[in-house]
Structure 1
Amino acid sequence: MLRAPWRHLTVSALACLGVVAVPATPSAAVAAPAHAGVTVTAPGSPCAWPAVVRPGRLNFAFPETNATYWLTPYRLGKGDRLVVDGTYPSARFTALTAYDTKGAPVDALADYQISPRPGSKNPFAVPDAGTDPAHHRYQVTLKPGVAAGSGADTIAATSNSAASGAGFLVLRIYVPDNESDPAGGVPLPTLSVQRQGSGPSAMKTCPRADSAQGPSGPLADTLRKLVKDNAPAGKFAGCGKFTPSDPGFAPPTKVLGLFPNPYNKYLCAPLAYKSGRVAVVRGKAPTFPDTVNGQSVLTRTQLRYWSLCQNQWQLPYPVSSCAADFQTALDKKGRYTYVVSTKRDRPADATTDKGVTWIDWGPTDVSSLLLFRNMLPAGDFRNAIQDIGKGDDPAKVMGDYYPTVTYCTKQSFAENGPDSCTS
């Protein structure tokens, strides 16, 4: 099968379901009872995909506003398996990832790595896949007792090839072609549990509008407790040497418990609110496949996806607002200018027709955290966040693609433009 030209990332190079990188060796998934008092229900209780992470549902762990994350807990014994029957969505990106009960990664498959079923084609891997969802089918098996990265459309359910254990399966979908349908115009994958020595048993899928998926659903408290138990209480670990009074972008300090995404890497910058002040972020924009406007996801570009998000720097780490690549205004040189401010402090010229993308500051009574995402860099693009090694200067590695951030008064921006906002 042909493969898209993205650099393959393994689960040892991770950043979180919001942002934070985790240690290269994830904690082992544990059998019952679950770690640290977190109760993980068995599949089928209450239904498949019982938790949805996005603003308006479960807003925690720095989610991206242009993506939706569905979670299903599992507990599998020796010889058991969880079979995922799905349809590739009409979207920019999708992936299936297994995590242990501490929110640490076990194994993952991105869209272009998943083989189609007989008679189907993968639209994330070949250009002639057509548009009929009936011919976009796939099947993935989640099972314990196999090594991560085994391939063959198999995801390890436990780390270290453990024969049994519990965890969470997460389905991610970024930028659906139809923004009103976060699932990308197809049904959510069906899940079937197959216990050793017995046939498969299908799970019912939770209704999309069901309250069980929201902030008061059966998994909400479990997930909040998981983040609280495995992330620093009341604060984020940090962004290199930078502080809210002297902001700048750096790779985030490693933190557990935030459901890492193996296909993203991040820079973060801490911010502090001050009345009459805005934050200005500038840099060169990487190219991306503009699927919202009809471009193929297989178009040769530098990144599959990138965005800038404003987040709240306190548990449970919610997102306030984001601007994705396709939502970002560029000047004639392909450079972006973001203004992050409250509505009251927004300069009159902070509009897309003036080449400026505005991002809502959100709550002002807590410190904030900007997150700059890079997803799946192309093999010949060497200025991505993924190219920053330990001890490297991000600005030198990324060159013009490195985002700079500085504070500026609303008045100065309004009178003299973004060029007056320099460090």
Structure 2
Amino acid sequence: MHAIKDLLRGLVAVAALVGAVAVPMTREAPARAEPVFDCGWSRRIGADTLNVALPDTFANYWMTAVPNLPAEGVTLRGTFPHGRYISFTSYRGSQTLDGLNDLNIAPDPGSVDPFLPGADRTATQRSYTVRVMPGPRPERPAPNTLYADAGLAVVLYRVYRPDAGLDPLGGAGLPEFTLNGADGPRTMPECATPPQVSDPTAVQLAGGIDLPPALPGPDHRVWSKTSGNGVFANPDNTYLTSRVAPRAGQVAVIRAKLPRTPATYQGQPVMAPAPLRYWSLCTNEVSSTRVSACVADDGITTDAADEFTVVVSDPADRPANATADCGVAWLPTTNGATLLLMRNMLPAPDFAGAIQHAPQDDPAATMGPYYPRTELTSVGEFAAIGCARSR
């Protein structure tokens, strides 16, 4: 509880600074740059710590914030973790400014980037160095460089789907944080990182908060394409959103073809090429932007045609066959209408079924079988299917 309170205090400080820094501060007489957080980084942010801004339960987040970012910037020295994906993203307020993902981070000499297609995920030499510099991203950016707001550099570090048995940082720790300046570099003390094992399947909205009922929104059969910008979005993701509001005794059933993604969770030795880096489907509260629960690509069962079935319902209305044993994933509804959020990350250029490649006004036109189909049905009707259809 104390850790969460400390995190909230730090984030409140960041929010206050965001409000105060409407435009970059002048460089004529800059105040001394000082990171908001003691070791440069916040405590871990996630669905089980600070559940806002539609987080993915299979991802973990850490924030840094530096007012008056010096012209010399910040240096981050880290180790590529064992996981599916990492990135650094800068923001002005909650709007995305710049992004630097694992594909664009060159390893240090003698090291390996384990996220490249075909790379050795077991390599022991896996260090990198990234710089955070003030100003807009130039037409020809410097290598391994993220550009941030000079007045208040807000950066999120993301780690998706750490390997089984590892902590949320994928066994790598947080990057060492060095603040550069005219008076020389200053390296912050190492951040304390509790050695807990990452267990995203344990995250669910417990109790929640009382909210007025939300409107169901558009037809539940229609999914809209969005970048998510404005809620600390990840620029490597594009999303489909829809809303469902099943009545008592009803369930929402979602079916689609699951894109192929690289297998990493069991510590596979090679990052295999795949049409998509990561896929997930989450249920969220519309008003609070809290996530209820998610299912990820490697935790969902498909049939012979690579199609999945996800049932969304109130826990009291969960059908007996909405279980992994029956090949059916289940997600809980939230207060009011439930926001469904489907993520596609870093698609291959030739993967036509990706959300990123779909037209804004009609994503179904190009997504084909990867476009989700949603129907409302009674608990009894779905239960009557049994397990045969879902296996």
TM-score range, shorter chain: 0.7 to 0.9
What SS is found at the alignment partner of 2:161? strand
In structure 2, the partner of 1:249 is 223
In structure 2, the partner of 1:93 is 85
1:201 pairs with 2:193: no
1:173 pairs with 2:145: no
For residues 174-197 of structure 1, what are the alpha-carbon distances to aligned partners after superposition, in whole Å with 9 as ceiling and x for unaligned? 0001354110111111111011x2
Query: Which letter maps to 2:97?
Result: V
In structure 2, the partner of 1:371 is 341
1:413 pairs with 2:377: no
The partner residue of 2:367 within 393, 398, 406 is 398
Query: Which letter maps to 2:99?
Result: A
**Aligned residues of 1:43 and 1:203 also touching (Cα < 8 A):** no
- Quote the offset at 1:74 in angstroms: 1.3
1:187-226 equivalences under 5 Å are 187-195=173-181, 197-209=182-194
In structure 2, the partner of 1:35 is 22
Identify if the C-alpha distance between structure 1 residues 319 and 396 changes in structure 2 by more than 3 Å, giving closer, same or farther.
same
- Matched residues, percent identical? 36
Segments of 5+ residues of structure 2 without an aligned counterpart are: 1-16, 24-32, 196-210
**Aligned residues of 2:39 and 2:177 also touching (Cα < 8 A):** no
The partner residue of 1:138 within 110, 128, 131 is 128
What SS is found at the alignment partner of 1:291? coil
The partner residue of 1:335 within 307, 313, 322 is 307
For residues 189-246 of structure 1, what are the alpha-carbon distances to aligned partners after superposition, in whole Å with 9 as ceiling and x for unaligned? 1111011x22211122442349xxxxxxxxxxxxxxxxxxxxxx9999x9xxx82664
In structure 1, the partner of 2:68 is 76
Identify if the C-alpha distance between structure 1 residues 419 and 355 changes in structure 2 by more than 3 Å, giving closer, same or farther.
closer
Query: Which letter maps to 1:307?
Result: S
Partners of 1:418 and 1:344 in 2: CA distance: 20
For residues 142-189 of structure 1, what are the alpha-carbon distances to aligned partners after superposition, in whole Å with 9 as ceiling and x for unaligned? 01145256141111113xxxxx32131110010001354110111111
Identify if the C-alpha distance between structure 1 residues 148 and 403 changes in structure 2 by more than 3 Å, giving closer, same or farther.
farther
In structure 1, the partner of 2:317 is 345
Query: Which letter maps to 1:98?
Result: S
In structure 1, the partner of 2:114 is 123
For residues 379-417 of structure 1, what are the alpha-carbon distances to aligned partners after superposition, in whole Å with 9 as ceiling and x for unaligned? 2211110012233x2112100110111111101111246
TM-score by length of 2: 0.81
Partners of 2:20 and 2:186 in 1: CA distance: 24
Query: Which letter maps to 2:65?
Result: P
Partners of 2:51 and 2:240 in 1: CA distance: 20
Identify if the C-alpha distance between structure 1 residues 45 and 288 changes in structure 2 by more than 3 Å, giving closer, same or farther.
closer
For residues 283-329 of structure 1, what are the alpha-carbon distances to aligned partners after superposition, in whole Å with 9 as ceiling and x for unaligned? 111111111134456312111110110001112x1100000000111
What SS is found at the alignment partner of 1:311? strand
1:301 pairs with 2:293: no
Identify if the C-alpha distance between structure 1 residues 270 and 151 changes in structure 2 by more than 3 Å, giving closer, same or farther.
farther
- Quote the offset at 1:93 in angstroms: 0.4
Segments of 5+ residues of structure 1 without an aligned counterpart are: 1-29, 159-163, 211-232
Partners of 2:379 and 2:126 in 1: CA distance: 50
Partners of 1:234 and 1:209 in 2: CA distance: 37
- Quote the offset at 1:125 in angstroms: 2.2
What SS is found at the alignment partner of 1:397? helix
1:389 pairs with 2:359: yes
**Aligned residues of 1:290 and 1:296 also touching (Cα < 8 A):** no
Partners of 1:170 and 1:234 in 2: CA distance: 31
TM-score by length of 1: 0.75
**Aligned residues of 2:277 and 2:345 also touching (Cα < 8 A):** yes
**Aligned residues of 2:221 and 2:373 also touching (Cα < 8 A):** no
1:105-120 equivalences under 5 Å are 105-120=96-111
Aligned residues: 348
Partners of 1:418 and 1:271 in 2: CA distance: 24
In structure 2, the partner of 1:152 is 143
Identify if the C-alpha distance between structure 1 residues 255 and 113 changes in structure 2 by more than 3 Å, giving closer, same or farther.
closer
**Aligned residues of 1:271 and 1:367 also touching (Cα < 8 A):** yes
Identify if the C-alpha distance between structure 1 residues 151 and 80 changes in structure 2 by more than 3 Å, giving closer, same or farther.
closer
- Quote the offset at 1:64 in angstroms: 0.3
- Quote the offset at 1:376 in angstroms: 0.8
- Quote the offset at 1:46 in angstroms: 2.9
Partners of 1:118 and 1:292 in 2: CA distance: 27
Partners of 1:189 and 1:66 in 2: CA distance: 20
Partners of 1:297 and 1:401 in 2: CA distance: 26
What SS is found at the alignment partner of 2:382? helix
**Aligned residues of 1:244 and 1:271 also touching (Cα < 8 A):** no
Identify if the C-alpha distance between structure 1 residues 115 and 234 changes in structure 2 by more than 3 Å, giving closer, same or farther.
farther
